[in-house]
Chains A and B, each alone.
Chain A
Amino acid sequence: MEEFVKAQDLVKYYPVYKRGILLKKQTGAVHAVDGVSFSIAKGQTLGLVGESGCGKSTTAKVLLGLERPDAGHAFVDEKEVHETLDDTNDEKVRRFRRGMQMIFQNPYGSLDPRMTVYDIVSEPCVIHQHIPRSEWNEKVYELLRMVGLEEYHAERYPHEFSGGQRQRICIARALASDPKLIVADEPVSSLDVSIRAQILNLIMDLQKEKELTYLYISHDLSSVRQVSHHVAVMYLGKIFEYAKSEELFDKPLNPYTQALISAVPIPDPKTKRERIILAGDVPSPINPPSGCRFHPRCRYATEICKKQEPPLIDALAKDHFVACHHADKFV
C-alpha cells in the first residue's frame, strides 16, 4: 500500500520559562512530542488516541507544518512538509497547503460569524483559485449537498445553525480546496450522541467517495474505533502502541492501552470486563518519568522500566508495534 503520510521521529519541545525581575530564564521544556513515527496509507485513517496533554494536537500541527519540529521529518505525498513550505515558489507552497486541511472540535469557534455559509465554503476557492470563478457556485452547492445541507443554507449565517450543522459547514469548507489529507481533531467531541453518529458516518462516506486520507485525533476510543483502520496510542509525547484497529482494541499489548480500553464503559449491561483503575494523574510532560514514562502508574513495572525506555517495535506480532519491556506477557 502506498504511504501517503509519514512521520519520522518527530520531536517538539516547548520551552518553559521562569519570569525573573529582568529576564526570563528557561527552566525546562514541555516534551510535547518526543520521537513520534507513524505512516498512513492513501485513503486510510489513522486514529491517534490519548488523554489530554499527551501531544496529539501538537503532532497534528507539526504534520501540517503549523509548528516547526525540533527534529524529525514529516512527509505528505512524498514531499517533506517543512522543506516544501519553505520553498520560495509561492505557487508550489500554496498548492501543497491546499492538499491538507483540518477540522476542529469547536465548529462555532472556527467559523467567522459575519460570513454567510456561501462565503465560508467558497473562501478556499478565493484563496487558492484552483477552480475557475464560473464554477464556484456549482462547487459550493455540490459541497453543501455532499455534507447533507441544502442549497438555501448558503445565504445563512453560522449562528442560525445547530452544532452538528456547523460541523457540516466546516467539513464542506475543508473539502472545498480538494484536499487529499484531512486532520480531524476531536471533530465530534462537542456534539450530541444522535448528531455524532451523523457526522461520523459522513466522515467515513466522504473518505470512500474521495479517497481521502485522515488523521483522526480523539480521546474518545469508541469513535476512534469506529472510523480508524490503524490506531496509535500516545502517552506523554510518545507512541506506546500502534497497530491495526481490531488488533489494538482486541489484543492490546501495552499496559497503558489495556487500562485505557478497560476504562471505557461499554453501553451494554451484560459486558462485564476486568476494570483496571490506574492510580494517580497523568504526570507532567515537563519532566516526564525516567525509563518507560508510564512506569509510576504501571502494575507490571520492574527495575528495567525505571531505567530504560522501551523501544516501539513489532517483535511479537508483525505490524503490531508496542513499547513495553514486558509486552511478551500479554501475547
Chain B
Amino acid sequence: MEDHHILNVHELKTYFYTENGIVKAVDGISFQLGEREIVGLVGESGSGKTVTALSVLRLVPRPGRIVSGKVYLEGEDLLAKSEKEMARVRGRKVAIVFQDPSSSLDPLFTVGDQVQEIIMYHEGMPKKEAVERTTELFQRVGIPEPEKRIHMYPHEFSGGMRQRICIARALALSPKILFADEPTTNLDVTIQAQVLDLMRGLHNNLGMSMVIITHDMGIVADMAQRIVVLYAGNVCEAANTHDLFYSPKHPYTEALLEAVPRLDRHKKLGVIKGNIPNLIEPPSGCRFHPRCPYAKEICSQKVPELEKIDGNHYVACHRWRELALVGGA
C-alpha cells in the first residue's frame, strides 16, 4: 500500500522507567500527517502529547525510552536510524517549537547567534550569508527591524517576540514538518492571536506540514484540518476537524466538547467526573472507563482497538456503534 503521508506514526510506545514504576506515557499511539496538512494533537496534561513529539524527534529524555513502534518520515523509519543519521533529520526534516520560549533560548548569546550558528554548522554557510539568512528569517516571522534585533539578547524581548525567534530558529534549515508544542500557552490572548496568525501564514506560504499540540479545543478548531484526541497515552479518536466536532464517536471527545466554556454562548458545562489517571497503573481495558458515562462490563476487561469507521475517521471504543453521541456545536 502506498503511503501518501509525510509522517506516519505507528503503534508508538514510549515508557519512562522511574523509581516508582514504569510510566506508560505513550502506549500505542498511531496517527498520520499529510503533506501540507495541519494536524492537531489534543489532550489534557499527561496524555502524552509532548512525549509523542519528543519520540518522533528521538529526543526522549531519561529515564524514558522508545519501546516499540514505527515512525515513517517520507517512507523511512526514523526509529531505525543511527544517532548520526538522526542528527541530519532534526531541523532539516522535522523541527520543534516548545511552550516556553524563555527556557529554550540561551540567555548568554544574542538571538541572532543562536540561529546563525545552526545555519553555519549544518549548511556550512559562511558567516556573512548566515547573518543575511537569519535576518530574512526574522523578517519572515514578523520581527520588526531584524538587522538590529539579531544583535539583542533573549531577555530584551517580550514573550511573544521570543516565541517568534524560536519559530525562526526552527525554520532555519527549512524543515518539512514543524511540531509546535503548546506554542501559545504562556502568551496573552492578543499575542497568541499574532503567533497563530504567523503559523497560519507559514503553512499557507511555505506549504509546511504542522503538528500543533494543545489542550485548547478552540485552537485546533481554528487551525487544524485533522484532530487526534489523546487520553492517558492512547489515541481515542482521530478525524477531520469538522467530523470530530460535529459527529464525535468517542465518549471522551463528546465529554471534552461539553466541558469547555465558550465565548460565543452561555450554557451549563458538562462535567467529566473523577481525575486524570495515573500512568503507572492505568485503568484496565479502556483507560477512560472509570470516568465514562457509557462504560459497560467489557470496557474494564478489554482494551478497545483503534478502528477505522470510514475514510479518515478512527475511534477506539467498544460501544461506538451503539452510541448516539452529540456534537459540540
Contacts and interface: CB of A to CB of B under 8 A. Distances in A.
Given A226-B261, A266-B262, A277 B194 contact: yes
A221 B264 CA distance: 10
Contact of B328 (A223, A225, A262, A267): A267
B188 A282 contact: yes
Interface string B205-226: 0000000000111110111000
Tell which of B190, B193, B269 has the most Cβ of chain A within 10 Å.
Answer: B190
Interface string B26-51: 00000000000000000011000000
Tell which of B160, B188, B273 has the most Cβ of chain A within 10 Å.
Answer: B188
Given A162-B275, A269-B241, A278-B194, A219 B256 contact: no
Interface in A132-178: 162, 164-165
A286 interface: no
B51 to A, nearest CB: 17
Given A198-B271, A201-B271, A268 B190 contact: no
B266 A222 contact: no
Given A192-B276, A266-B264, A259 B256 contact: no
Interface string A64-75: 000000000000
A265 B188 contact: no
B221 A197 contact: no
Contact of B221 (A198, A259, A262, A267): A267
B189 A267 contact: no
A225 B261 contact: yes
Tell which of A164, A165, A222, A276 has the most Cβ of chain B within 10 Å.
Answer: A222
Interface residues of B, number: 47
Contact of A266 (B191, B193, B218, B242): B218
Q: Give the size range of A's interface with the partner.
A: 35 or more
Nearest to A227: B261
Tell which of A192, A262, A269 has the most Cβ of chain B within 10 Å.
Answer: A269
Given A193-B260, A194-B255, A275-B197, A263 B272 contact: no
Nearest to B273: A198
B270 interface: yes
Contacts of B193: 262-263, 275-278
Interface in B249-271: 255-264, 266, 268-271
A52 B190 CA distance: 11
A195 B329 contact: no
A194 B188 contact: no
Interface string B234-251: 000000011001000000
A193 B261 CA distance: 9
A51 interface: yes
B275 A195 contact: yes
B161 interface: yes
Interface of A: 51-52, 162, 164-165, 192-198, 200-201, 219, 221-223, 225-226, 245-246, 249, 259-271, 275-278, 281-282
25 contacts: A51-B188, A51-B189, A162-B275, A164-B275, A193-B259, A193-B260, A194-B44, A194-B259, A194-B272, A195-B276, A197-B271, A198-B271, A198-B272, A198-B273, A219-B188, A219-B189, A225-B263, A225-B266, A245-B266, A260-B190, A261-B263, A262-B193, A263-B189, A268-B221, A271-B264
